[in-house]
Amino acid sequence: MFAVFVLSSQSIATILGKIYFDKGGNSKWMATLVLNAGFPVLLPLLFFLPSEIDSPTENTNKKQPSQLVLASIYISLGIFLVADSMLYAIGLLYLPVSTFTLICASQLAFNALFSFLLNSQKFTPFIINSLVLLTISSILLVFIPDDSSDSCPHKNRYAVGCLCTIGASAGYSLILSLTQLAFQKILETENFRLVLDMIIYTSAVATSVIVIGLFSSGEWKNLSREMHEFKLGSVSYVMNLVWTAVSWQVYNIGTIGLIYKVSSLFSNVISTLGLPIVPVLAVFIFNDKMSGLKVISMVLAIWGFASYMYQHYLDYLKGRYTSADHDQVP
């Protein structure tokens, strides 16, 4: 279920975000806001979930973190999320959506590095092969000739967009690894309510900071004019922002849920799986050009993903055989 959330919502949210910029939206703070402001749609779920799902015997052996520790985690991740969301918004503004999503594949390589440093992730030849391929895939796009002048008329903007997207990918990978570290070392409690708490509170902190930035920058003064000049109409403008915000929250449920169930690296792998979907859709929706280098980059990204998934398959077989041998021991 979590994987389906990630694959579907990621593509929808990215396409809607690019439509916002292509049809007249120009506020980077607003584009950053919708990445995090949809958390209220998750609040009703808290009323249907018990506060504790663990067994009583497990809870008695675990020391619950203090409110101060929890607040520190949520505030730190929330502020970090603001900076990362802004980098994503700038990348999406300056780049064709196909280039943007292919560069985002680099986040798997970054996440593997952070997982190794923070989460004791083990490297194997297949994982190393995956990281090398994904890194080369992203580097190809950074130095690609600017054949998309209709979307990015200025070469400097294209370069800035590439760098911001790479920075955002690295930042998001670090956030995932820090989230897994918090689950493993501090929170420890195993229930889905904790997943929702992590999403809601960090998003609330991020939204508060972004709203302050929106008013401090003065961009809020142009939002009314931006809405009325939106090429698809005012209603479509509002619906675009609303459904973008909702889609990103569904994506958050999927990513945090996969971290909770498996690991931050596996969560990022599923996210990377959905990236090739967007460039294909962008060819039909935005008339993006698929140059030879973009095709090569996509093939390398898919190859890198397949290499990593093959390692997961080997780990699964090893675990199954180990479990079978253990069951046979009298």
List the one residue out of 54, 67, 74 whose CA is nearest residue 198: 74
SS3 65: coil
Q: Is residue 252 part of a domain?
A: yes
Residue 239 located in a structural domain: yes
Q: Tell me the whole-structure pTM to 2 decimals.
A: 0.79
Contact criterion met (CB below 8 Å) for 177 and 40? no
Residue 57 lies in a domain: no
Closest to 240 measured CA to CA, from 7, 27, 5: 27
Total number of domains constituting the chain: 1
Q: Is residue 243 part of a domain?
A: yes
Exposed / middle / buried, residue 296 (Cβ in 10 Å: 0-12, 13-18, 19+): middle
Residue 107 lies in a domain: yes
Q: What is the pLDDT along the chain (330 residues), one digit of tens a residue?
A: 788 888 888 888 989 998 999 899 889 999 999 999 999 988 887 777 655 444 444 444 556 778 888 899 999 999 999 999 999 999 999 888 878 877 887 777 787 788 888 867 677 888 788 778 877 776 676 666 554 444 445 678 888 888 999 999 899 889 888 888 888 788 766 567 777 888 899 999 999 999 999 999 988 999 999 999 999 999 999 999 999 999 999 988 888 888 777 776 677 777 766 666 777 777 777 777 767 777 787 788 778 778 877 887 787 677 666 655 555 554
Distances (CA, A) of 148 to 111, 151, 153, 266, 310: 29, 6, 7, 33, 35
Domain membership of residue 53 (yes or no) is no
Query: Tokens for 202?
Result: 């960090």
Look at residue 58 and tell me if it is in a domain: no
Contact 102, 165 (CB under 8 A): no
Q: Is residue 49, in this structure, part of any structural domain at all?
A: no
Nearest residue to 241 (alpha-carbon basis) of 84, 23, 79:
23
Render 240-300 in DSSP notation, one character per residue. Answer: HHHHHHHHHHHHHHHHHHHHHHT-HHHHHHHHHHTTTHHHHHHHHHT-----HHHHHHHHH
Range of the domain at 258: 2-43+64-328
Reduce the DSSP state of residue 118 to 3 states and report it: helix
Contacts of 271 (CB under 8 A, 6+ apart): 6, 10, 107, 108, 255
